[in-house]
């Protein structure tokens, strides 16, 4: 049947957030660093002196949304919820 050949988008509901964060870090190692234990994504480059850090966070109902906005000219870090 067609259902048996479909690709999985989520391998395991328990690890979906960690999997998404690990994938983000693997895809963009020049932009982000990930702390999987605390579910935090940081800019890979240090923030500039005299600049206020901008951090966002939120739940992970569909995906860790805010983590995709970490990078130069955007967020300095993002925290992913449950």
Instruction: Give the span between the Cα atoms of 80 and 21, in whole angstroms.
Output: 9
Residue 57 lies in a domain: yes
Instruction: Give the span between the Cα atoms of 29 and 24, in whole angstroms.
Output: 8
Residue 5 lies in a domain: no
Q: What is the pLDDT of residues 47-66, one digit of tens each?
A: 788 989 999 988 877 677 88
> pLDDT at position 48, please?
82
Residue 4 lies in a domain: no
Q: What is the pLDDT of residues 12-31, one digit of tens each?
A: 888 889 999 999 999 999 99
Enter the DSSP assignment of 58.
E
> What's the total number of domains in the chain?
1
Pick from 82, 79, 81, 75: which is nearest to 34 by CA? 79
What's 61's domain CATH number?
3.40.50.10440
Does the pLDDT of residue 9 top 90, yes or no?
Answer: no
What residue numbers bound the domain in which 59 lies?
A: 11-80
Residue 3 lies in a domain: no
Confidence of residue 8 (pLDDT cuts 50, 70, 90): confident
Which tokens belong to 35?
């702390």
């Amino acid at each position: 049947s067609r259902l048996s050949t479909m690709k999985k988008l989520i391998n395991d509901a328990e690890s979906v957030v960690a999997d998404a964060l690990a994938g983000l870090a693997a895809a963009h190692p020049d932009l982000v660093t990930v702390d999987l234990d605390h579910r935090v994504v940081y800019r890979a480059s240090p923030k500039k002196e005299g600049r206020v850090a901008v951090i966002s966070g939120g739940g992970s109902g569909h995906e860790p949304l805010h983590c995709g906005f970490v990078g130069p000219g955007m967020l300095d870090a993002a925290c992913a919820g449950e």
